[in-house]
A and B are shown apart, each in its own frame.
Chain A
Amino acid sequence: MGISQELLDILACPKCKGDIYLNETKDGLVCDECKLLYEIREDIPIMLIDEAKAIDK
């Protein structure tokens, strides 16, 4: 089903409170500032800093 735009609009990076966006594969939310990926598992965005994955950009 994927997550809705409405939900995306109310989410922010829990670390810097900055903007995030859906990655190309639509299975995670990216914060460019913190270089972190917040995974989406079974349509649930996991907005926990400890669970986020570091990304190289």
Chain B
Amino acid sequence: MKALVTGAAGFIGSHLCEYLLKNGVRVVGIDNFMDYYPRSMKEANIVGMMHDKGFEFVEADILTVDLSKILDRVDIIFHEAAQAGVRASWGESFKIYSDNNVLATQVLLEACKASPIQKFVYASSSSVYGDTTDLPMRESSLPRPISPYGVSKLAAEHLCWLYYKNFGVPAVSLRYFTVYGARQRPDMAFHRFLRSATEGKHIAVYGDGEQSREFTHVDDIVEATWMASKNGLPGEVFNIGGGSRITLNQVIRLIQEIADCEIEVRYEEKQKGDVRHTFADMTKAAEELGYQPKVQLQDGLRREYEWMKELVESLSG
């Protein structure tokens, strides 16, 4: 079996590639190394796989790469590539989001019409729900994103649905809830908090810190993604959460325990596009995919902290 992973050098994409290789799946990874965060971090994400004979990697952009020959040779597509970042998606930047999240997905789906792929798994986001008070968030709820980023992820979900409905492309969408773990992007909360704890600096929190998130460890995300490729019914959407919903203030207390230090917290203005709460109803993922999160937040956070210490040490060395 062979899979195409887009965004293969990214945070989730690189973990997914490793998981697939360990499970005997050969991987073609593509990534355009978008400059949202340092290229060196993405290169480090894939360096361990470059000598694996089952791994082939190409630096390419979905919008220009010739997909036909690639798709002829793969059985499954994992579409993890995206322009990330809720807060950066306003204003003129939106074009980057519409190109990389909406148009790129359409280009891939269009190419799939002519290819006999078994499954197209699209990495969507809990941000499609917006600032709902109807918790937990269910796949059947009306999605109403409050950030341009969320709009772009929802638009791509709709594209998956319509390419399935009209052309039979076997697309499944997964709404990932706040993913964390080693290799997390530098703009994400846990990365920023853990780095501050490691370097003895203050933590900046947007808002009052009482916003809550369903945090999902990347190992659980990767397993759910694999399960979706096997068990996910085409045309369907699934919430993928971690079963750990806590406030940012509680996370900071946990980090202080793990790092065994006091951290100064500075509360800053709430950012436009940030939702108050996320909380996943995972009944559907459990029943239809067989997915159950395994990594407890405290364990996952401790593992990310160990990774962060190594990262900070390597950067200072």
List A contacts of B64 (CB < 8 A): 14-15, 47-49
Q: Is the CB of A47 within 8 A of B69?
A: no
B57 at the interface (CB under 8 A from A): yes
Q: Is the CB of A45 within 8 A of B70?
A: no
Nearest-CB distance from B71 to chain A (Å)?
9
Query: Which residues in window 47-82 of B have CB below 8 A to A?
Result: 50-51, 53, 56-61, 64-66, 68-70, 72-73
B115 at the interface (CB under 8 A from A): no
List B contacts of A22 (CB < 8 A): none
Tell which of A7, A11, A12, A14 touches B61, judged by Cβ atoms closer than 8 Å. Answer: A14
* Chain A residue with Cβ nearest B53: A4
Give CA–CA (A12, B71) in the complex, Å. Answer: 13
Q: Is the CB of A44 within 8 A of B58?
A: yes
Q: Is the CB of B66 within 8 A of A45?
A: no
Nearest-CB distance from A44 to chain B (Å)?
5
Q: Is the CB of A17 within 8 A of B66?
A: yes
Nearest-CB distance from B101 to chain A (Å)?
19
* Chain B residue with Cβ nearest A49: B64
Q: Is the CB of A13 within 8 A of B66?
A: yes
Give CA–CA (A11, B71) in the complex, Å. Answer: 11
**A interface: dominant SS:** loop
Nearest-CB distance from B42 to chain A (Å)?
11
Contact with A along B221-256 (1 / 0, CB 8 A): 000000000000000000000000000000000000
List A contacts of B69 (CB < 8 A): 9-12
Number of A-B contacts (CB under 8 A): 52
Tell which of A6, A9, A15, A47 touches B59, judged by Cβ atoms closer than 8 Å. Answer: A47
Nearest-CB distance from A32 to chain B (Å)?
16
Q: Say whether, besides A10-B73, A11-B69, A14-B66, A45 and B58 are in contact (CB < 8 Å).
A: yes
Give CA–CA (A15, B66) in the complex, Å. Answer: 9
Nearest-CB distance from A53 to chain B (Å)?
14
Q: Is the CB of A46 within 8 A of B59?
A: yes
Query: Which residues in window 1-46 of A have CB below 8 A to B?
Result: 1, 3-4, 6-7, 9-15, 17, 42-46
List B contacts of A15 (CB < 8 A): 64
List B contacts of A49 (CB < 8 A): 64
List B contacts of A9 (CB < 8 A): 69, 73
B118 at the interface (CB under 8 A from A): no
Give CA–CA (A13, B56) in the complex, Å. Answer: 17
Supply 22 A–B pairs (Cβ within 8 Å), ascending by A: A1-B50, A1-B51, A4-B56, A6-B56, A7-B56, A10-B28, A10-B69, A10-B72, A11-B58, A11-B69, A12-B66, A12-B69, A15-B64, A17-B66, A42-B50, A43-B57, A44-B59, A45-B59, A47-B59, A47-B60, A47-B65, A48-B59
- Can you list the 5 inter-chain pairs with the closest CB atoms, starting with the nearest? A12-B66, A47-B60, A14-B64, A7-B56, A10-B69
| A residues apposed to B, CB below 8 Å | 1, 3-4, 6-7, 9-15, 17, 42-49
